[in-house]
Amino acid sequence: MKKQLSFTNSLGFILSYVLFLIMIIFIVLSASIHIYKKEMLMTHQHIEQQKIESLIQIGITMFKEELVTEDIHTEKVTYTFPDGTVDILVKPLDKEDALLLRLTIETDNDASLQVKHVMDISAYDVNVDSF
């Protein structure tokens, strides 16, 4: 009498089908976990990018407001916000009615970016020679 193995049934050999099914489930599960981790990283980076863009806009707006209301004569202005800091280095351009702003943005999560922005100040009635 032949000894029957525990991984067979009356229809035949089934272990290979079970192993194949378990392998497919494991691959799908591993890929899903990997995709989820990448999505979390991309979401974090997207949030940091949104913070940086907001800080750029807020920094330029604050600089324009101070340029109109106060007489700014310094070459460097620093603004601190809850999401980070904005350092603005001001240099007059060869054009009489324009300033070159070099913005250095650093978020609260230590992401940083430097951006150059040319600002037209003809509408603000500001003397460019004061910088």
pLDDT tens-place values along the chain, 131 residues long: 455 555 555 555 667 788 899 999 999 999 999 999 999 999 999 999 999 999 999 999 998 888 878 766 778 999 999 999 999 998 888 777 788 899 999 999 988 999 998 888 776 655 555 54
Flag whether 24 is in a domain: yes
Please give the tally of structural domains in the chain: 1
Flag whether 78 is in a domain: yes
Distance, in Å, from the CA atom of 7 to the CA atom of 9, rounded to the nearest integer, reads 7
Rounded to two decimals, the pTM is 0.72
Flag whether 92 is in a domain: yes
Distance, in Å, from the CA atom of 90 to the CA atom of 34, rounded to the nearest integer, reads 45
Flag whether 7 is in a domain: no
Flag whether 21 is in a domain: yes
Q: Which residue range forms the structural domain that includes residue 47? A: 12-130
